[in-house]
Structure 1
Amino acid sequence: MPRHKKIAVFFILLLATGLIGMNVYENQQKKKQEAQEQRQTTTLEKTAIDSTEEDKERASDFTLKTTSGETIRLSDYRGKKVILNFWATWCPPCKAEMPHMQAFHEKHKNDVEIIAVNLTSLDNGNDALKKFIEDYRLTFTIPLDQEGTIGNRYKAYTIPTSYVIDEEGYIQHKVIGPMNEEMMENMITSNG
């Protein structure tokens, strides 16, 4: 076989080997990404649902003014389950969560109190907040964390962050990320 044909065959084999290798590499990367996404989903679900007796701690009390100017204390809601939520108007996952939270509130307002603390010190001002509340037709309690101290105390570094608090004031669940109505239902009906 002439030398130029040998070189051509060599390059064709090299190219074919490279294409096969790239295909195998891409498939491995895709599988790794799918596995990582599954682990993240499982971790989020576990964070949202799991809690053990030794993990339980009493929710730290606070006093804040609401959007209507009323002063509330978290401890005033003892005897009732509470979903304590931290959010801001510019946060896309918070926007996705709000219709679920409002629907849950409408169904359970006699049994479960939603306290959605706006991280006012990190937000876009009163006009943005007022428009957000109107756009989403929110009717649950919205206190304003003007200094950022309550968000820091509850480690709401990623938002939304929510806590489910039982009737005695103990934290039953912590959720980092948006919740849907089904998640809220499950956490409220579980015993920790």
Structure 2
Amino acid sequence: MNKNLLSIAIILLAVAIIFVNVWDKPASEGMGDADSVDITKDESIPGVDLGEVQEGNQAPDFTLTTLDGAELKLSDYRGKKVILNFWATWCPPCKAEMPHMQSFYEENHEEVEVIAVNLTNMDKGEEAINTFVKDYELTFAIPLDEAGDIGMQYQAFTIPTSYAIDEDGIIQKKIIGPMDEAMMKSIVDGME
């Protein structure tokens, strides 16, 4: 008798699961324009407007302290093209990209500034960052995003993430993943 009750309970549970999956319409079905959701503002990330940092928009200004203790403000670079990069020392694609970025910077620093924002809140500490910079002989600006706010604002959810910003401070291109020197040159040349 107990086996029969257990069998009936399992069958009823299976039927209930099938009923819920087959007959329950997804919440997104049948949504009209009046019910549509604005996904450019994510309420789970307080103060972050995901629609703000897009190609064609003004790059949001920020001020961060660099690895050498200087204050860096993005808007101070108006009048010059900028490659704004987000990275961390433990990231293999970032490691692959850095020699290309350094070489590109050495050849083009008169016209293009490279700003490589370290996502310090996700990294292994300043000592690891200093070692990385020394090992890769990096000479461009390395601001530290210690709170992670700038990386979040610039949607650096996958790293490296880079932005090509023109002389007027307008975002021309977002690049997710590593770049090589030829790609950086092509992107910067495309901003003219």
Give the TM-score, by structure 2 length: 0.71
Report Cα offsets for 1:133-165 as digits up to 9, x if no partner. Answer: 000000000000000000000000000000000
SS of 1:187's equivalent? helix
Report Cα offsets for 1:60-107 as digits up to 9, x if no partner. Answer: 000000001000100000000000000000000000000000000000
Q: Which amino acid aligns with 1:136?
A: Y
Residue 144, structure 1, aligned to residue 144, structure 2? yes
Q: Aligned-pair distance for 1:127? A: 1.2
Residue 168, structure 1, aligned to residue 168, structure 2? yes
Give unmatched runs, 5+ long, in structure 1.
1-53
Q: Which amino acid aligns with 1:134?
A: K
Q: Displaced runs of 4+ in structure 1, greater than 2 A?
A: none
For 2:166 and 2:55, locate their aligned partners in 1 and report how far apart those are by CA, in whole Å: 14
For 1:65 and 1:126, locate their aligned partners in 2 and report how far apart those are by CA, in whole Å: 12
Q: Aligned-pair distance for 1:55? A: 4.3
Residue 187, structure 1, aligned to residue 160, structure 2? no
Q: How does 1:11-26 map to 2 (within 5 A)?
A: none
Q: Which amino acid aligns with 2:159?
A: I
Q: How does 1:20-35 map to 2 (within 5 A)?
A: none
Compute the RMSD of aligned alpha carbons: 1.2
Q: How does 1:16-165 map to 2 (within 5 A)?
A: 55-165=55-165
For 2:61 and 2:132, locate their aligned partners in 1 and report how far apart those are by CA, in whole Å: 27
Contact 2:59 / 2:170 at 8 angstroms: preserved in 1? yes
Q: Aligned-pair distance for 1:110? A: 0.8
For 1:55 and 1:102, locate their aligned partners in 2 and report how far apart those are by CA, in whole Å: 25
SS of 2:102's equivalent? helix
SS of 1:110's equivalent? coil
Q: Aligned-pair distance for 1:126? A: 1.1
Give the TM-score, by structure 1 length: 0.71
SS of 1:64's equivalent? strand
For 1:191 and 1:76, locate their aligned partners in 2 and report how far apart those are by CA, in whole Å: 19
Q: Aligned-pair distance for 1:191? A: 3.1
Q: Which amino acid aligns with 1:126?
A: E
For 1:173 and 1:180, locate their aligned partners in 2 and report how far apart those are by CA, in whole Å: 15
The structure with more helix, counted as a fraction of residues: 1
SS of 1:124's equivalent? coil
Give unmatched runs, 5+ long, in structure 2.
1-53
* Residue matched to 1:35: none
For 2:180 and 2:115, locate their aligned partners in 1 and report how far apart those are by CA, in whole Å: 16
